[in-house]
Amino acid sequence: MEKEIVKLAAQRRSDDDLENIKNALNQRNLTKSSFIENSEADLEFHLAIAKASHNSIFTIYYKSLSLIYLYFRSPKIKINKYGRKNDLSIAYRTF
């Protein structure tokens, strides 16, 4: 699926999309701190590519997978007893 997203992004991207991808890649390469920050930067990079495909299904798909990935991979992400996010704010910012 990722190959298709990249293929469409290469075909459909605008100059602004390309700039967003470059910025996200630069930020990803500069981020060297915590797991959460590294994951967020990596997800922003991949999301920029999905957005450049100009296919809303791919963008929504990638956002959903990103949220699930962060939820299960980070020990800091928890849902409190009321079902509300405690540390999911970074995942929700991509939406």
* DSSP string covering 22-87: HHHHHHHHH--S-HHHHHHHHHHHHHHHHHHTT-HHHHHHHHHHHHHHHHHH-TT--B-TTS-BSS
* Residue 77, number of CB atoms within 10 A of its CB: 18
The pLDDT of residue 75: 57
The pLDDT of residue 91: 47
Instruction: Of 1-5, 6-10, 45-49, 69-73, give the lowest mean pLDDT range.
Output: 69-73
pTM, to two decimals: 0.72
- Which band of pLDDT confidence, cut at 50, 70 and 90, is reported for residue 78? low
Average pLDDT, the chain: 80
pLDDT of residue 92 exceeding 60:
no
Average pLDDT over residues 41-52: 92
* Angle in degrees, CA 52, 54, 60, rounded to 5: 95
Q: Which residues contact 40 (CB under 8 A, 6 or more apart)?
A: 31, 70, 90
